[in-house]
């Protein structure tokens, strides 16, 4: 048996939902929670990559500005 959200299971059982359906719904909720955690981890990695890219872009722009200023002065 997979992990299950006890609160949802009890709420569904009190609403006279069959045991099998209540169990499956609670297990699906746990699966969605895990997917949300995975997405948040992926977003954290993307944010870290963006920080590096921002710094790289800043260095390139500063270099271009330095070359332009050097050509005029």
Domain-embedded: residue 54 = yes
In the predicted structure, residue 47 carries a pLDDT above the cut 70? yes
Q: How many domains does the chain have?
A: 1
Selected residue with higher pLDDT from 15 and 7 = 15
Taking the C-alpha atoms of residue 34 and residue 26, their distance in angstroms, rounded to an integer, is 13
Structural domain includes residue 68? yes
Q: What is the pTM of this model?
A: 0.58
Q: What is the domain range of residue 59? A: 6-72
Residues 5-16: b if buried by 16+ CB within 10 A, e if exposed: beebbeebeeee
Distance CA 50, CA 60 (A): 15
Contact between residue 41 and residue 47 where contact means Cβ atoms under 8 Å apart: no
């Amino acid at each position: 048996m997979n992990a299950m959200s006890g609160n949802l299971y009890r709420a569904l059982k009190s609403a006279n939902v069959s045991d099998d359906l209540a169990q499956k719904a609670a297990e699906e909720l746990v699966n969605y929670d895990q997917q949300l955690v995975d997405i948040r981890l992926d977003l954290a990695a993307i944010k870290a990559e963006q920080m590096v890219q921002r710094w790289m872009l800043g260095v390139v722009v500063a270099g271009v500005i330095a070359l332009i200023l050097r050509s005029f002065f």
